[in-house]
C-alpha cells in the first residue's frame, strides 16, 4: 500500500530461483514496478516479508541498504545515467562509491563494457549515444559490482524494436552467466519471443505464472503475434 | 549563492562576536569592581592589637580571601583624619572612638556575602560591613547578562545554521538526480553527504573569518577611542582573551556550516 492509499500489491507471493529469467507483465500501474521496488528496498511492504539472496530485506537496517544495492543491479526505462560523466566514468562510478581500489576499477570497468559491447565508446557522454547504447551503459553499470540479481524496469520502453532485441539478447547472455534476471515489461513481442517464465500481474494480484509463457494467456504454438 | 551564505554567516557571527566581546568585557569589569570591594570588620573593644593581628591571620587563612590588612584604631583615626581634612577638625576628639579593624579583600567577588557571613560568626567581631548595595547590583547585572547571553548565542547560532542549511539545500536540490543515482548504485549516506558537508564547513568558516577580520579591525580602531571617552571605567582590568574568542568564533562558523549541510542533505536521503 502506497502512502497515498493506493493498494499496489495485494496478497502477492512470489518466489524466484537463482539463475532464472523471469518476466513480470501487466499493463502500467498494475504492480510490476512495485514488486521490483520491494526487491531493492525502494519501498517496504505494509505487510509481509521480502527476502533477497538469503537476506531479509524489508526489515533491513538503513545502514545496510547500500550493500544490498551493490548486490542487486537495477536498470530503468530512462537509463538514469549521469550526464556529466563519460560512459567509462558512469560505469566506474558504481564501483568507486563502494570504495573500490583503482586497480579493481581498471579491471572491472573494461570487462563490463566489453560484455555490453561498448568498449569503443567509453569516452563518450550519454547525450552523444543512441538510446540502446545508453541502456547498455546502464546495464554495464548495474553489473560492475557483480550482482547476483539484475532487475529491469521497462528496460526497452524507450527503444525501437531492433534495439529492443539487442538489449534482450544481452540480458539473455548475462543470464546464461548465472545472474538472475527479472524484467518488468509490457512489451508483448519480447515476451513471446523469449518464452521464459511469465508472471502476470493485474490489479496488484498475480493472475498467472507460466514457465514458458506468452504475453497473453492460453495461446498455443501457433501464435502469429509480432512486436 | 555561496557568497550569500558566506555574507549572511559573516553578519551573524559578527553579531555573535560583538555580543560575546561586550559580555566578557562587562563581566570582567564587574569582577574588577567587585574585587576591590572591601569588607570592613570592626572588632569589639575587648580585643587588643595582638589578638587583633591573630584574628587577621585566621581570616587570611581562608582560601577565599586575597588580602587582609589589620588596622589598629590609631591608624584608623589617622586615615579618617586624612579623608575628612578640612571638613571636621578632629583635634577636638579627646579619645579615639574607632575600634580596631580588619580590612578584607576577597578573590572571587561572588563570595563577598559568604565570606562576610563567616567572619561575622567569629568571636569578638562587633560588626562586618561591605557595600552591599553595589555588590548586589553588580551580581544581578552579571546574572542577567549571562542569561540573556545564552539566549542570544543560541538564537544567533540557530539563525546561522538555518541560513547555511538553506543555501546548501539549493545545491543539494540541483544535484538530486545524482544523489538518487548514488543511492541506487549503493553509495552509503556518508559518502553522499561528505562533499556537501565539506561545502558547509568552508562556507561557515569563511563567513566566520570575515566576521573575525571585521571585528578585529573595529577593535583596533574603536577601542582606544572608547577608552578615552569613558575613561572613568577601568578598562585595563577588563582584558578579554581576544585570541581565544577568535578561535571560538571560527569554530562556531565551522560547526554551524557542517550541521547546516548535514540537515539539508538528510532531507534528500529518504531511504
Check pLDDT > 60 for residue A3: no
Chain B CA closest to residue A68:
B186
Tens digits of residue pLDDT in A89-100: 999 988 888 888
How large is the average pLDDT for residues A136-153?
91
Nearest to A66 among B177, B180, B186 (CB): B186
A148 touches chain B (CB under 8 A): no
Report residue A221's pLDDT band, with 50, 70 and 90 as the boundaries.
very low
Contact B271/A97, CB-based, under 8 Å?
A: no
Contact A94/B185, CB-based, under 8 Å?
A: yes
Check pLDDT > 50 for residue A220: no
pLDDT value of position A141: 92
pLDDT value of position B91: 66
Share of chain A above pLDDT 70, in %: 88
Q: What is the mean pLDDT of each run of 10 residues along chain B (271 residues)?
A: 78 84 77 74 82 83 83 80 70 74 79 82 82 75 80 84 82 84 86 87 88 85 74 58 82 87 81 48
Contacts of B181 in chain A (CB under 8 A): 80-82, 93
Cell of B259: 550541521
Q: When comparing pLDDT for A132 and A7, which is higher?
A: A132
Q: Which residues pair with A22 in a beta bridge?
A: A182, A197
Contact B184/A93, CB-based, under 8 Å?
A: no
* Alpha helices for chain B (secondary structure H): 2-35, 49-61, 73-83, 112-120, 132-174, 176-184, 189-229, 242-266
ipTM given for this complex: 0.78
How large is the average pLDDT for residues A57-61?
82
Q: When comparing pLDDT for B242 and A107, which is higher?
A: A107
Chain A CA closest to residue B194:
A97
Contact B186/A62, CB-based, under 8 Å?
A: no
> Exposure string (b/e) for B150-179, b if CB count within 10 Å is 16 or more?
eebeeebbebbbebbbebbbebbeebeebb
pLDDT value of position B48: 80
Report residue A223's pLDDT band, with 50, 70 and 90 as the boundaries.
very low
Check pLDDT > 80 for residue A120: yes
Report residue A125's pLDDT band, with 50, 70 and 90 as the boundaries.
very high
pLDDT value of position A19: 85
pLDDT value of position B90: 60
Q: What 8-state DSSP symbol labels residue B107? A: S
How large is the average pLDDT for residues A204-216?
73
Q: Which residues pair with A56 in a beta bridge?
A: A51
Q: Which long-range contacts (CB under 8 A, 24 or more apart) does A116-124 make?
A: A116/A140, A116/A143, A116/A170, A117/A170, A118/A87, A121/A87, A122/A86, A122/A87, A122/A88, A123/A86, A123/A87, A123/A88, A124/A86, A124/A87
Amino acid at each position: 500500500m502506497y502512502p497515498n492509499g493506493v493498494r499496489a500489491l495485494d496478497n502477492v507471493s512470489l518466489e524466484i530461483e537463482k539463475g532464472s529469467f523471469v518476466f513480470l507483465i501487466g499493463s502500467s500501474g498494475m504492480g510490476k514496478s512495485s514488486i521490483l521496488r520491494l526487491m531493492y528496498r525502494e519501498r517496504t511492504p505494509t505487510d509481509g516479508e521480502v527476502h533477497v539472496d538469503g537476506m531479509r530485506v524489508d526489515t533491513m537496517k538503513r545502514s545496510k541498504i547500500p550493500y544490498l544495492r551493490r548486490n542487486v543491479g537495477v536498470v530503468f526505462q530512462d537509463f538514469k545515467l549521469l550526464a556529466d560523466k563519460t560512459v567509462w566514468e558512469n560505469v566506474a562510478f558504481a564501483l568507486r562509491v563502494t570504495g573500490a581500489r583503482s586497480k579493481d576499477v581498471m579491471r572491472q570497468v573494461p570487462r563490463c563494457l566489453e560484455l555490453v559491447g561498448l568498449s569503443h565508446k567509453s569516452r563518450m557522454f550519454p547525450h552523444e549515444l543512441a538510446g540502446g547504447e545508453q541502456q547498455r551503459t546502464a546495464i554495464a553499470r548495474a553489473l560492475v559490482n557483480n550482482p547476483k540479481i539484475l532487475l529491469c524496469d521497462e528496460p526497452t520502453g524507450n527503444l525501437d524494436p531492433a534495439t529492443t532485441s539487442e538489449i534482450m539478447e544481452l540480458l539473455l547472455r548475462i543470464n546464461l552467466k548465472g545472474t538472475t534476471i527479472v524484467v518488468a515489461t509490457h512489451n508483448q513481442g519480447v515476451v513471446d519471443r523469449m518464452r521464459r517464465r511469465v508472471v502476470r500481474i493485474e490489479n496488484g494480484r498475480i493472475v498467472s505464472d507460466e514457465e514458458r509463457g506468452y504475453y497473453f494467456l492460453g495461446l498455443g504454438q501457433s501464435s502469429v503475434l509480432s512486436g | 549563492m555561496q557568497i550569500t551564505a558566506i555574507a549572511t554567516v559573516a553578519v551573524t557571527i559578527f553579531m555573535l562576536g560583538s555580543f560575546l566581546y561586550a559580555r566578557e568585557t562587562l563581566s570582567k569589569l564587574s569582577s574588577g569592581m567587585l574585587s576591590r570591594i572591601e569588607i570592613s570588620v570592626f572588632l569589639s573593644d575587648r580585643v587588643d592589637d595582638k589578638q587583633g593581628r591573630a584574628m587577621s591571620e585566621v581570616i587570611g587563612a581562608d582560601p577565599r580571601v586575597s588580602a587582609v590588612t589589620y588596622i589598629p584604631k590609631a591608624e584608623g583615626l589617622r586615615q579618617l583624619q586624612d579623608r575628612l581634612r578640612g571638613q571636621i577638625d578632629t583635634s577636638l576628639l579627646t579619645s579615639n572612638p574607632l575600634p580596631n579593624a580588619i580590612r578584607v579583600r576577597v578573590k572571587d567577588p561572588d563570595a563577598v556575602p559568604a565570606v562576610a557571613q563567616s567572619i561575622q560568626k567569629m568571636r569578638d567581631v562587633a560588626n562586618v560591613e561591605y557595600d552591599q548595595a553595589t555588590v548586589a547590583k553588580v551580581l544581578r547585572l552579571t546574572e542577567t547578562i549571562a542569561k540573556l547571553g545564552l539566549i542570544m548565542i543560541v538564537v544567533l547560532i540557530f539563525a546561522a545554521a538555518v541560513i547555511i542549511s538553506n543555501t546548501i539545500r539549493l545545491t543539494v536540490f540541483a544535484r538530486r538526480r545524482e544523489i538518487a543515482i548514488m543511492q541506487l548504485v549503493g553509495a552509503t549516506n556518508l559518502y553522499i553527504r561528505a562533499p556537501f558537508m565539506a561545502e558547509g564547513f568552508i562556507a561557515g568558516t569563511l563567513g566566520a573569518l570575515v566576521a573575525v577580520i571585521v571585528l578585529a579591525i573595529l577593535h583596533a580602531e574603536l577601542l582606544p577611542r572608547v577608552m578615552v571617552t569613558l575613561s572613568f571605567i577601568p578598562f585595563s582590568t577588563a582584558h578579554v582573551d581576544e585570541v581565544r574568542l577568535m578561535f571560538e568564533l571560527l569554530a562556531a562558523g565551522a560547526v554551524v556550516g557542517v550541521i547546516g549541510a548535514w540537515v539539508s542533505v538528510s532531507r534528500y536521503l529518504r531511504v
